[in-house]
Structure 1
């Protein structure tokens, strides 16, 4: 499974990456929306882990581009905000499969990404 992590904090992105790599994923990191879109232009991904609190056009722009460029890719959003706690992100992003608090344990993020990645591989 190929995973793109879009996280402004290099340390947090690397922490998530280590847990996903232990679960067998091939992981690439992007620190902002521009780097993520550039990565999506060059190679496909199965899953994206994106911080909804990114500056600029943010994670929603990455999800929109992924839906266009790689329609089978799913997105796990993470956020420190309670703005999307009502689940509205699922109406705003057709490829969203989960929204998690940023404080979620890295091993739990890896488990959720692995679950959804395996689910899409079967379909």
Structure 2
């Protein structure tokens, strides 16, 4: 399965990528909104791991574009901040399926990827 990681911290994104690849997934990385939208224009990603706070661009815009371009795509939002800690991300983004800390263990993230891919 194809997975897109949109994360402004390249070492973290690469760690997740390697872990998901070991689970048999094809994983692409983007570090900003423009790159993510380019990827979404070229490839269908059933699961997107998306940092809530992007240095360049808006995570909401990426999720919105994914919803338009790939209506069945699910988004796992990750963050290292308290933004949306009230759960409002689920009201803003209809394709949000999870909201977890950036420090989530790679095994747990891989389990969520596999779970939500089966659900969609």
Q: TM-score range by the shorter chain?
A: over 0.9
Q: Using the alignment, how far apart are the partners of 1:31 and 1:51 within structure 2?
A: 9
Large movers: runs of 4+ above 2 Å: none
Per-residue CA shift, 1:69-94, capped at 9, x if unaligned? 00110000000111211110000000
Aligned length: 120
With 89-98 and 107-116 compared, the bigger mean Cα shift is at 107-116
Q: Using the alignment, how far apart are the partners of 2:57 and 2:12 within structure 1?
A: 20
Q: Return 5+ residue gaps in structure 1 as ranges.
A: none
TM-score by length of 1: 0.93
Q: Using the alignment, how far apart are the partners of 1:19 and 1:118 within structure 2?
A: 19
Given that 1:23 and 1:114 are in contact with CA atoms closer than 8 Å, whether structure 2 keeps it comes out as no
Q: Using the alignment, how far apart are the partners of 1:23 and 1:119 within structure 2?
A: 18
Aligned to 2:42: 42
Q: Using the alignment, how far apart are the partners of 2:102 and 2:4 within structure 1?
A: 16
* Offset, 1:23: 1.6
TM-score by length of 2: 0.95
Per-residue CA shift, 1:28-76, capped at 9, x if unaligned? 1101111000000111111000100112332111100000000110000
With 33-42 and 50-59 compared, the bigger mean Cα shift is at 50-59
Q: Return 5+ residue gaps in structure 2 as ranges.
A: none
Q: Using the alignment, how far apart are the partners of 1:39 and 1:24 within structure 2?
A: 20
Per-residue CA shift, 1:11-41, capped at 9, x if unaligned? 1101011111122211111011110000001
Q: CA RMSD in A?
A: 0.9
